[in-house]
A and B are shown apart, each in its own frame.
Chain A
Amino acid sequence: MTTLPSTAEETVSIEIGGMPIAMRTHDPSFRRLIENRYAGFVGTSPHSQLEFDIDLYEPSDAASARDDIDDELEVKIEAGEWLLRRGDFRARWSPEASRGHIRQSPSPYAIDAVLRIVHSLVLARQGGFLVHAASAIRNGKAFLFSGISGAGKTTISRLAPPDTTLLTDEISYVRRQGNRYLACGTPFAGELARVGENQSAPLSALFLLEKGLQNRIEPVGATEAVQRLLRNILFFADDPALVELVFQSACEFASLVPIRRLVFVPDQRVWDIIC
């Protein structure tokens, strides 16, 4: 397939965690789909940190499109290039050239997956990560609420008081900045089906969610904190060097950010003890 030269009008810049990624496609309807899906995260900056050219293909039928999404994901580095592959997309990306190419079905799930993987790989080298957690800003401080599916990420997000800015109810973006961490909003939504706000704030605490009979905060030992955090960090690549980076990032995070267990009843009063 020949890729025609792209123009600025064919580019959509998606800026998550302060990192603009330019996505180029000749297909105007797919561009509109990206702009709508990532509304609030579509950047205006002419400079991007990464650029991807997108080629689209049509899956043979709806059933095969669904199967493609369920296919096993493969992420590996070969000759200095990251290769990302699932049934509904194939992507390659050179960190050195800051450029890549995606061949995908016109599904938003494919580009969503590519974005999550690329951000997680970039963040790993900067001491940050994407983590299964809801996050919110209140009184200038950010809080993470981490847990597996069903732990209460969406519930705690729904219960947030009106003066709270919701960053995400599903996948949180954690960026290291010197000796502190920032939580940044993401468009990666969970059951709330609501894109987070594109804002960031210094992270004050991470709460491990647990549903219970009363609201309380409990201390968590360092090793349990790291273990639980590692379970929830999004990690895609089968690469020993990256495993080590993520492990060290989790340890650093646990040594700098308070990690507590938040036992809660689904009631707005839980937010009274979050500070």
Chain B
Amino acid sequence: MLDTPGRQIEMAEKYISRSSEIASRLLGGEVMIMSTADSTFFTLNEVASAIWQAADGCTPLSEIVADKICREFDVDREQAQRGAERFVDELSQHGILLVSDQPLWLAVESQ
């Protein structure tokens, strides 16, 4: 990720996975999610829906941004990465997305 032109910042990679405590559904091109723990309801726009659908626990977030967001939605990579990080933070705070700095199957095995 770049903060100023030409300066590379190393950031820990993130791996994201959908929580099992949710119900979700794609309808009219948008994903709707309901937490089965507290019935909180979320709707995701097209970009967020693409991240959600790619959240398999083993694809790095940066790769999701590059392959699914930048290519399909024609957005700048830096901007897309920032948006994706915000989205992931928000959903993880609600327990809707699980986040790890290693592939989630590894994280589960190491516990």
Spell out A's residues near B (CB within 8 Å). 221-223, 226-227, 230, 235, 240-241, 243-244, 247-248, 251, 254-255
Q: Contact check: which of B21, B30, B37 meets A223 at CB < 8 Å?
A: B30
Contact B27 A247 (CB under 8 A): no
Q: Provide a sorted-by-A list of 13 A–B residue pairs whose CB atoms are within 8 angstroms.
A: A222-B30, A223-B27, A223-B32, A227-B41, A227-B43, A230-B34, A241-B36, A243-B23, A243-B36, A243-B39, A247-B25, A248-B23, A251-B32
Whether B36 lies near A240 (C-beta < 8 A) is yes
CB distance from B65 to the nearest CB of A (A): 24
The yes or no answer to B5 lying at the interface (CB within 8 A) is: no
Near A by CB (< 8 A), chain B positions 53-88 give: none
CB of A255 within 8 A of CB of B34, answer: no
Q: Produce 1/0 per residue, B10-41, CB < 8 A to A.
A: 00000000000101010110101011110101
Nearest chain A CB to B85 CB, angstrom units = 24
Q: Which residues of the partner chain A approach B37 to less than 8 Å between Cβ atoms?
A: 240
Residues of B within 8 A of A247 (CB): 23, 25, 32, 34, 36
Interface of A is mostly: helix
Question: With A240-B36, A243-B36, A247-B34 in contact, do A222 and B41 touch (Cβ < 8 Å)?
Answer: no
- Cβ of B36: which chain A residues have Cβ within 8 Å of it? 240-241, 243-244, 247
Chain B contacts of A230 at CB under 8 A?
Answer: 34, 41
Docked-complex contact B28 and A223, CB < 8 angstroms: yes
B27 touches A254 (CB 8 A): yes
A residues near B27, Cβ cutoff 8 Å: 222-223, 226, 251, 254-255
Question: With the chains together, A23 CA to B18 CA distance in Å?
Answer: 45
- CB-CB under 8 A from B35, the residues of chain A are 243
Contacts of B28 in A (CB 8 A): 221-223
A226 contact from B21, B32, B39, Cβ within 8 A: B32
10 tightest A-B CB contacts, nearest first: A222-B28, A240-B36, A244-B23, A223-B43, A251-B25, A247-B23, A243-B36, A247-B34, A222-B27, A223-B30
- Closest-CB distance, B89 to chain A (whole angstroms): 22
Give the complex CA separation of A230 and B43 in angstroms: 13
Nearest to A240 among chain B residues (CB) is: B36
- The residue that A240 contacts in the complex, of B21, B25, B30, B32, with Cβ under 8 A, is B21
| Contact residues in B for A227 (Cβ distance below 8 Å) | 32, 41, 43
Shortest Cβ distance from residue B111 to the other chain A in the assembled complex, whole angstroms:
22
Bound CA–CA A240/B37 (angstroms): 6
Q: Chain B contacts of A222 at CB under 8 A?
A: 27-28, 30
